Protein backbone atom coordinates (compact mmCIF):
# COMPACT_ATOMS: atom_id res chain seq x y z
CA UNK A 1 0.00 0.00 0.00
CA UNK A 2 2.82 2.32 1.02
CA UNK A 3 4.66 1.67 -2.25
CA UNK A 4 1.48 2.28 -4.22
CA UNK A 5 0.95 5.70 -2.58
CA UNK A 6 4.49 6.84 -3.11
CA UNK A 7 4.36 5.79 -6.73
CA UNK A 8 1.19 7.83 -7.10
CA UNK A 9 2.87 10.80 -5.40
CA UNK A 10 5.88 10.41 -7.65
CA UNK A 11 3.65 10.54 -10.69
CA UNK A 12 1.95 13.63 -9.35
CA UNK A 13 5.26 15.29 -8.59
CA UNK A 14 6.46 14.50 -12.09
CA UNK A 15 3.35 16.15 -13.45
CA UNK A 16 3.92 19.27 -11.40
CA UNK A 17 7.53 19.44 -12.56
CA UNK A 18 6.35 19.24 -16.16
CA UNK A 19 3.97 22.16 -15.74
CA UNK A 20 6.31 24.16 -13.50
CA UNK A 21 7.86 26.33 -16.28
CA UNK A 22 4.40 27.27 -17.48
CA UNK A 23 3.15 27.79 -13.93
CA UNK A 24 6.02 30.13 -13.04
CA UNK A 25 5.50 32.07 -16.27
CA UNK A 26 1.77 32.26 -15.65
CA UNK A 27 2.15 33.48 -12.07
CA UNK A 28 5.02 35.90 -12.57
CA UNK A 29 4.26 37.26 -16.01
CA UNK A 30 0.47 37.08 -16.09
CA UNK A 31 -1.47 36.53 -12.88
CA UNK A 32 0.56 38.81 -10.60
CA UNK A 33 0.67 41.72 -13.11
CA UNK A 34 -3.03 41.14 -13.72
CA UNK A 35 -3.84 41.56 -10.02
CA UNK A 36 -1.36 44.43 -9.68
CA UNK A 37 -3.00 46.27 -12.58
CA UNK A 38 -6.30 46.10 -10.68
CA UNK A 39 -4.67 47.83 -7.72
CA UNK A 40 -2.91 50.36 -9.96
CA UNK A 41 -6.22 51.27 -11.56
CA UNK A 42 -7.13 52.92 -8.25
CA UNK A 43 -3.88 54.88 -8.02
CA UNK A 44 -2.02 57.80 -9.50
CA UNK A 45 1.00 56.00 -10.83
CA UNK A 46 3.32 57.80 -13.20
CA UNK A 47 5.85 54.95 -13.76
CA UNK A 48 8.59 57.30 -12.49
CA UNK A 49 7.17 57.55 -8.97
CA UNK A 50 5.41 55.29 -6.47
CA UNK A 51 1.68 54.69 -6.88
CA UNK A 52 -0.58 56.86 -4.71
CA UNK A 53 -4.07 55.60 -3.91
CA UNK A 54 -6.67 57.81 -5.56
CA UNK A 55 -9.87 55.80 -5.17
CA UNK A 56 -12.20 55.85 -8.16
CA UNK A 57 -10.64 58.96 -9.69
CA UNK A 58 -9.27 57.17 -12.77
CA UNK A 59 -12.61 55.55 -13.53
CA UNK A 60 -14.53 58.80 -12.96
CA UNK A 61 -12.14 60.68 -15.26
CA UNK A 62 -12.44 57.94 -17.83
CA UNK A 63 -16.23 57.95 -17.95
CA UNK A 64 -17.04 61.59 -17.27
CA UNK A 65 -14.10 63.82 -18.24
CA UNK A 66 -12.02 62.22 -20.97
CA UNK A 67 -13.77 62.63 -24.35
CA UNK A 68 -11.09 60.50 -26.00
CA UNK A 69 -12.24 57.45 -24.09
CA UNK A 70 -15.74 57.47 -25.57
CA UNK A 71 -14.32 58.12 -29.02
CA UNK A 72 -11.96 55.16 -28.62
CA UNK A 73 -14.77 53.01 -27.26
CA UNK A 74 -16.89 53.86 -30.30
CA UNK A 75 -14.02 53.31 -32.74
CA UNK A 76 -13.22 49.94 -31.13
CA UNK A 77 -16.82 48.82 -31.45
CA UNK A 78 -17.07 49.90 -35.07
CA UNK A 79 -13.84 48.02 -35.72
CA UNK A 80 -15.30 44.94 -33.99
CA UNK A 81 -18.59 45.15 -35.86
CA UNK A 82 -16.77 45.42 -39.20
CA UNK A 83 -14.10 42.82 -38.66
CA UNK A 84 -15.85 39.97 -36.81
CA UNK A 85 -18.68 39.37 -39.30
CA UNK A 86 -16.37 40.27 -42.21
CA UNK A 87 -13.76 37.75 -41.21
CA UNK A 88 -16.25 34.96 -40.47
CA UNK A 89 -18.18 35.47 -43.71
CA UNK A 90 -14.97 35.52 -45.74
CA UNK A 91 -13.73 32.43 -43.93
CA UNK A 92 -17.01 30.60 -44.57
CA UNK A 93 -17.17 31.53 -48.24
CA UNK A 94 -13.58 30.50 -48.92
CA UNK A 95 -13.93 27.34 -46.80
CA UNK A 96 -16.96 26.29 -48.88
CA UNK A 97 -15.02 26.93 -52.08
CA UNK A 98 -12.11 24.91 -50.72
CA UNK A 99 -14.38 22.09 -49.57
CA UNK A 100 -14.28 20.22 -52.83
CA UNK A 101 -12.05 17.69 -54.45
CA UNK A 102 -10.05 19.24 -57.22
CA UNK A 103 -6.46 19.27 -58.40
CA UNK A 104 -4.15 21.55 -56.39
CA UNK A 105 -6.74 22.20 -53.67
CA UNK A 106 -4.18 21.75 -50.88
CA UNK A 107 -1.95 24.39 -52.44
CA UNK A 108 -4.90 26.78 -52.64
CA UNK A 109 -5.81 26.15 -49.01
CA UNK A 110 -2.24 26.95 -48.00
CA UNK A 111 -2.27 30.18 -50.00
CA UNK A 112 -5.43 31.36 -48.26
CA UNK A 113 -3.99 30.43 -44.87
CA UNK A 114 -0.70 32.33 -45.34
CA UNK A 115 -2.05 35.81 -44.41
CA UNK A 116 -2.97 34.44 -40.99
CA UNK A 117 0.61 33.34 -40.41
CA UNK A 118 1.89 36.84 -41.16
CA UNK A 119 -1.12 38.62 -39.76
CA UNK A 120 -0.58 41.35 -37.19
CA UNK A 121 3.15 41.52 -37.76
CA UNK A 122 4.70 44.95 -38.01
CA UNK A 123 6.20 44.19 -41.43
CA UNK A 124 2.78 43.39 -42.90
CA UNK A 125 1.31 46.53 -41.33
CA UNK A 126 4.04 48.62 -42.97
CA UNK A 127 3.42 46.88 -46.28
CA UNK A 128 -0.31 47.58 -45.93
CA UNK A 129 0.46 51.23 -45.19
CA UNK A 130 2.59 51.52 -48.32
CA UNK A 131 -0.10 49.84 -50.41
CA UNK A 132 -2.75 52.32 -49.30
CA UNK A 133 -0.64 55.49 -49.44
CA UNK A 134 -1.73 58.09 -51.99
CA UNK A 135 0.92 56.78 -54.36
CA UNK A 136 0.48 53.14 -53.36
CA UNK A 137 -0.41 50.17 -55.49
CA UNK A 138 -4.13 50.33 -54.65
CA UNK A 139 -4.47 53.84 -56.04
CA UNK A 140 -2.30 52.72 -58.96
CA UNK A 141 -4.83 49.98 -59.77
CA UNK A 142 -7.75 52.40 -59.40
CA UNK A 143 -5.96 54.83 -61.71
CA UNK A 144 -5.35 52.09 -64.30
CA UNK A 145 -9.12 51.56 -64.50
CA UNK A 146 -9.77 55.28 -64.76
CA UNK A 147 -11.20 55.45 -61.25
CA UNK A 148 -10.45 58.38 -58.93
CA UNK A 149 -7.69 57.93 -56.39
CA UNK A 150 -8.61 57.89 -52.71
CA UNK A 151 -6.74 59.20 -49.70
CA UNK A 152 -7.24 55.93 -47.88
CA UNK A 153 -5.24 56.74 -44.77
CA UNK A 154 -5.66 60.51 -44.73
CA UNK A 155 -9.45 60.55 -44.83
CA UNK A 156 -11.40 60.05 -41.62
CA UNK A 157 -14.07 58.06 -43.46
CA UNK A 158 -11.75 55.56 -45.14
CA UNK A 159 -8.94 55.11 -42.61
CA UNK A 160 -10.82 52.77 -40.27
CA UNK A 161 -12.25 50.59 -43.07
CA UNK A 162 -8.71 50.29 -44.45
CA UNK A 163 -7.47 48.99 -41.11
CA UNK A 164 -10.47 46.65 -40.93
CA UNK A 165 -9.71 45.27 -44.38
CA UNK A 166 -6.31 44.15 -43.17
CA UNK A 167 -7.86 42.33 -40.24
CA UNK A 168 -10.49 40.67 -42.43
CA UNK A 169 -7.76 39.64 -44.89
CA UNK A 170 -6.34 37.44 -42.12
CA UNK A 171 -9.24 35.01 -42.22
CA UNK A 172 -7.06 31.94 -42.79
CA UNK A 173 -7.25 30.44 -39.28
CA UNK A 174 -11.03 30.72 -39.18
CA UNK A 175 -11.19 29.27 -42.68
CA UNK A 176 -9.22 26.18 -41.65
CA UNK A 177 -11.60 25.59 -38.74
CA UNK A 178 -14.65 26.12 -40.95
CA UNK A 179 -13.21 23.75 -43.52
CA UNK A 180 -12.69 21.06 -40.90
CA UNK A 181 -16.25 21.57 -39.67
CA UNK A 182 -17.67 21.41 -43.20
CA UNK A 183 -15.87 18.14 -43.81
CA UNK A 184 -17.51 16.69 -40.71
CA UNK A 185 -21.06 17.43 -41.83
CA UNK A 186 -22.61 13.98 -42.45
CA UNK A 187 -23.26 13.36 -46.14
CA UNK A 188 -26.52 11.57 -45.39
CA UNK A 189 -28.05 14.83 -44.19
CA UNK A 190 -27.50 16.37 -47.62
CA UNK A 191 -28.86 13.20 -49.28
CA UNK A 192 -31.97 13.38 -47.12
CA UNK A 193 -32.37 17.05 -48.01
CA UNK A 194 -32.02 16.18 -51.71
CA UNK A 195 -34.77 13.59 -51.35
CA UNK A 196 -36.96 16.26 -49.78
CA UNK A 197 -36.31 18.47 -52.80
CA UNK A 198 -34.26 21.07 -50.96
CA UNK A 199 -32.34 23.61 -53.07
CA UNK A 200 -28.75 24.75 -52.49
CA UNK A 201 -29.80 27.67 -50.30
CA UNK A 202 -32.13 25.46 -48.20
CA UNK A 203 -29.33 22.94 -47.68
CA UNK A 204 -26.94 25.70 -46.70
CA UNK A 205 -29.42 27.30 -44.30
CA UNK A 206 -30.91 24.16 -42.77
CA UNK A 207 -28.05 21.67 -42.89
CA UNK A 208 -24.66 23.37 -43.23
CA UNK A 209 -25.14 26.31 -40.88
CA UNK A 210 -26.65 24.31 -37.97
CA UNK A 211 -24.00 21.61 -38.35
CA UNK A 212 -21.08 24.04 -38.22
CA UNK A 213 -22.72 26.45 -35.75
CA UNK A 214 -20.41 25.47 -32.83
CA UNK A 215 -17.39 26.48 -34.91
CA UNK A 216 -19.07 29.71 -36.02
CA UNK A 217 -19.92 30.46 -32.39
CA UNK A 218 -16.37 29.71 -31.25
CA UNK A 219 -15.03 32.06 -33.92
CA UNK A 220 -17.46 34.81 -32.97
CA UNK A 221 -16.28 34.62 -29.35
CA UNK A 222 -12.57 34.55 -30.18
CA UNK A 223 -12.68 37.17 -32.94
CA UNK A 224 -14.76 39.52 -30.77
CA UNK A 225 -12.28 39.18 -27.93
CA UNK A 226 -9.38 39.83 -30.28
CA UNK A 227 -11.06 42.79 -31.97
CA UNK A 228 -11.82 44.49 -28.67
CA UNK A 229 -8.11 44.29 -27.84
CA UNK A 230 -6.76 45.26 -31.28
CA UNK A 231 -3.68 47.46 -31.34
CA UNK A 232 -0.92 46.71 -33.84
CA UNK A 233 -2.73 47.55 -37.10
CA UNK A 234 -3.84 50.99 -36.01
CA UNK A 235 -0.59 51.76 -34.21
CA UNK A 236 1.64 51.00 -37.17
CA UNK A 237 -0.56 52.04 -40.08
CA UNK A 238 -2.26 55.23 -38.91
CA UNK A 239 -1.02 55.93 -35.38
CA UNK A 240 -4.67 56.34 -34.43
CA UNK A 241 -5.29 59.14 -36.93
CA UNK A 242 -6.52 60.99 -38.79
CA UNK A 243 -8.47 62.89 -36.17
CA UNK A 244 -8.47 59.84 -33.88
CA UNK A 245 -10.67 57.99 -36.35
CA UNK A 246 -8.63 54.80 -35.78
CA UNK A 247 -7.74 55.43 -32.16
CA UNK A 248 -8.65 52.03 -30.72
CA UNK A 249 -8.86 51.41 -26.98
CA UNK A 250 -5.67 49.34 -27.15
CA UNK A 251 -3.85 52.33 -28.62
CA UNK A 252 -5.22 54.69 -26.02
CA UNK A 253 -4.09 52.30 -23.29
CA UNK A 254 -0.58 52.17 -24.77
CA UNK A 255 -0.33 55.94 -25.21
CA UNK A 256 -1.56 56.75 -21.72
CA UNK A 257 0.89 54.24 -20.22
CA UNK A 258 4.05 54.74 -22.23
CA UNK A 259 3.77 58.20 -23.79
CA UNK A 260 2.07 60.05 -20.93
CA UNK A 261 3.38 57.78 -18.12
CA UNK A 262 -0.10 57.40 -16.60
CA UNK A 263 0.13 53.77 -15.55
CA UNK A 264 -2.78 54.01 -13.12
CA UNK A 265 -5.06 55.49 -15.73
CA UNK A 266 -3.92 52.96 -18.33
CA UNK A 267 -4.66 50.15 -15.85
CA UNK A 268 -8.19 51.49 -15.45
CA UNK A 269 -8.60 51.40 -19.24
CA UNK A 270 -7.37 47.79 -19.34
CA UNK A 271 -9.93 46.82 -16.70
CA UNK A 272 -12.69 48.50 -18.66
CA UNK A 273 -11.61 46.46 -21.69
CA UNK A 274 -11.61 43.34 -19.53
CA UNK A 275 -15.09 44.09 -18.18
CA UNK A 276 -16.37 44.76 -21.70
CA UNK A 277 -15.01 41.46 -22.95
CA UNK A 278 -16.51 39.61 -20.01
CA UNK A 279 -19.95 41.14 -20.49
CA UNK A 280 -19.89 40.58 -24.25
CA UNK A 281 -18.82 36.95 -23.80
CA UNK A 282 -21.55 36.40 -21.22
CA UNK A 283 -24.16 37.91 -23.53
CA UNK A 284 -22.96 35.86 -26.47
CA UNK A 285 -23.24 32.66 -24.42
CA UNK A 286 -26.68 33.63 -23.17
CA UNK A 287 -28.10 34.53 -26.57
CA UNK A 288 -26.52 31.58 -28.34
CA UNK A 289 -28.60 29.19 -26.30
CA UNK A 290 -30.83 27.23 -28.69
CA UNK A 291 -29.06 28.67 -31.74
CA UNK A 292 -25.91 26.57 -31.56
CA UNK A 293 -26.41 22.90 -32.40
CA UNK A 294 -24.29 20.25 -30.70
CA UNK A 295 -24.99 16.86 -32.23
CA UNK A 296 -23.62 14.98 -29.23
CA UNK A 297 -24.57 17.17 -26.25
CA UNK A 298 -27.55 19.29 -27.13
CA UNK A 299 -27.36 23.00 -26.56
CA UNK A 300 -24.26 24.45 -24.95
Q: Least distance (Å) from another protein to the CB of residue 115? A: 18
Q: Are 62 and 69 in contact (CB under 8 A)?
A: yes
When the beta carbons of 18 and 260 are compared against another protein, the nearer one is: 260
How is the chain split among helix, strand and coil, in percent rounded to 5? Answer: 70, 0, 25
Would you tell me which residues interact with another protein (CB under 8 A)?
30, 33-34, 37, 46-49, 61, 65-67, 122, 133-135, 151, 153-156, 221, 225-226, 229, 231-232, 235, 239, 241-244, 250, 253-255, 257-261, 270, 273-274, 277-278, 281-282, 285
When the beta carbons of 219 and 270 are compared against another protein, the nearer one is: 270
Q: Least distance (Å) from another protein to the CB of residue 178? A: 21
When the beta carbons of 160 and 193 are compared against another protein, the nearer one is: 160
Burial 33-66 (b: 16+ CB within 10 A, else e): eeeebeebbbbbbeeeeebeebeebbbeebeeeb
Q: Least distance (Å) from another protein to the CB of residue 285? A: 6
When the beta carbons of 109 and 252 are compared against another protein, the nearer one is: 252
When the beta carbons of 208 and 238 are compared against another protein, the nearer one is: 238
Cβ neighbours around 185 below 10 Å, total: 17
Q: Are 160 and 75 in contact (CB under 8 A)?
A: yes
Q: Least distance (Å) from another protein to the CB of residue 218? A: 11
At residue 43, φ and ψ (nearest 5 deg) are: -130, 165
Amino acid sequence: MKNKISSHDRRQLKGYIYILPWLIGFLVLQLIPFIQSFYYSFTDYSIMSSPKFSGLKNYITLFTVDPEFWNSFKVTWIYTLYTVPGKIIMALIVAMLMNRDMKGINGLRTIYYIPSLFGGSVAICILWRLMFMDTGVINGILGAFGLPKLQWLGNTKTALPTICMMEIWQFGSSMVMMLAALKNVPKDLYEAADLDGAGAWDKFKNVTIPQISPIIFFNVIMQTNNALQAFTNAFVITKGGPLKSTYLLGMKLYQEAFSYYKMGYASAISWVIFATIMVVTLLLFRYSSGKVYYSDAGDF
